[in-house]
Structure 1
C-alpha cells in the first residue's frame, strides 16, 4: 500500500498532466532543475538498491549486439556511464528534461564521438526510429494521466528501429498501470517481465521488442 506522501506525489503529477504537453514539459523541467540544485538528489550513484536495479536491468536484456542506445530520463548519467562501459562500441544518447542534471551527466560521461546528451521531453521529442535499444526507467509516473502514458508509449515505440528493444523499469505493482499502453501497443510485443522484491520497494523490468512490419 502506498504511503500518503507517495499518493500526494502522484496526485500532483496527474494534476500537471491536465496542461498541454508543452506546458507540462515546462513545469517538469523547472521541477527537476530544482531537485538537481544539489548533486545526485536520489543517490543513484551510491545506493545499493539502485545498483542492484541497474544490474538486474542489464541482465534482463536479450543477448545481442546494440549499436545505438537511448536512455530516456538519464538524470546525471549514472546508468549512462554503466552503459558506456558495457557497450564500448555503441553510440549512446542520454535524454533528460533538466539541464542541470545534464551538466553533471556530461561531467560524469564526457561527450565525444559516441556519447551525447540532449535536453528533451519524451512527450514532445522527435527522433528518427533508429535505436536498437531504448531504456525508460523511473520516468512514466511523472507523466500523470492515461492519455499522457498512451502518448509516451507511442513516442517510445517510435524511437525503435527494426528488431529494436525497449526496456521499461518502474515500481511494482504500479508498473501494471504505467506499462499498460506499452503492453497493448500495436508495434510492440512483450518479451519478458521480471519482478524483483528488493527492499525498499519492489520493481519490475519489462522488455519489449518491435513486431515485424
Structure 2
C-alpha cells in the first residue's frame, strides 16, 4: 500500500491533469526542471533498489534484435547508459521533459552517434520514427486521469515498429491500474508480467508486443 506522502503526490498530479494537455506539459516540465536543480534527485545512479530494478528489467526482454530503442522519461540517463552497454550497436533515443536532466544525461552517456537525447512531452511528441523497443518506467502516474492515460497508451503504441516490444515498469499494485490502459489498447498484446512484491518498493514489469505480431 503506498504511503500517505505518495498518495498525496499522486493526487496532486491527478489534479494537474485537469489542465489542458499543453498546460499540464508546461507545469510538468517546470516541476521536473525544479526537481533536477540538484543532480540525481531520485538517486537512480546510487540506490541499490533502482540498480536491481534496471537489471531485472533487462532480463525480462524477449529475445530479438533491437536496432532502434527509445526510453520515455530517461531523466539523467542512468538506464540509458545500461541500454547502451547492453545494445552497443543499437540507435538509442532518450526522451525527457527536463532540459536540466538531459544536460546531465548527455554528459553521462558517451556520445558515439548511436545515442541521442530529445526534450519532448509524451502526450504531444509525434516522432516520425518507429522503434523495436520502447521503455516507459515510473512515468505514467504523473499523467493523472483516465483521459490522459488513454492518450499516453496511444502515443506509446505509435512509437512501436511492427513486431516492436513495449516494456512498462511501475509501482505495484498501482501498476494494475496504469498498465490496464495499455491492456485495453487494441494494438498491444500483453506477453508477460512479473510482480516483485517482496521488494522494499514493490513494482511490476509488464511486456507487450504489437498485436499483429503477438
Matching residue of 1:118: 118
Q: Which residues in structure 2 correspond to 1:3-22 (within 5 Å)?
A: 3-22=3-22
Deviations 1:34-64 (A, max 9, x none): 0000000100001110011001100000011
Following superposition, the deviation at residue 113 of structure 1 comes to 1.4
Matching residue of 1:83: 83
Matching residue of 1:171: 171
Is 1:45–2:42 an aligned residue pair?
no
Runs of 4+ in 1 over 6 A off after TM superposition: none
Matching residue of 1:73: 73
Deviations 1:13-51 (A, max 9, x none): 001000011100000000000000000010000111001
Q: How many residues align?
A: 213
CA–CA separation in structure 1 for the residues paired with 2:23 and 2:112: 32
TM-score (norm 1): 0.98
Q: Which residues in structure 2 correspond to 1:125-164 (within 5 Å)?
A: 125-128=125-128, 130-164=130-164
Structure 2 CA distance for partners of 1:69 and 1:109, relative to 1, 3 Å:
same
CA–CA separation in structure 1 for the residues paired with 2:182 and 2:83: 23
Query: What SS does structure 1 have at the residue aligned with 2:13?
Result: helix
TM-score (norm 2): 0.97
Unpaired runs of at least 5, structure 1: none
Matching residue of 1:58: 58
Deviations 1:179-204 (A, max 9, x none): 11101110000000000124321100
Query: What SS does structure 1 have at the residue aligned with 2:212?
Result: coil
CA–CA separation in structure 2 for the residues paired with 1:149 and 1:129: 22
CA–CA separation in structure 1 for the residues paired with 2:2 and 2:92: 35
RMSD: 1.0
Question: Which is worse superposed, 24-33 or 126-135?
Answer: 126-135
CA–CA separation in structure 1 for the residues paired with 2:199 and 2:180: 24
Deviations 1:116-166 (A, max 9, x none): 000001010111252000000000000000110000000000000010000
Matching residue of 2:208: 208
Unpaired runs of at least 5, structure 2: none
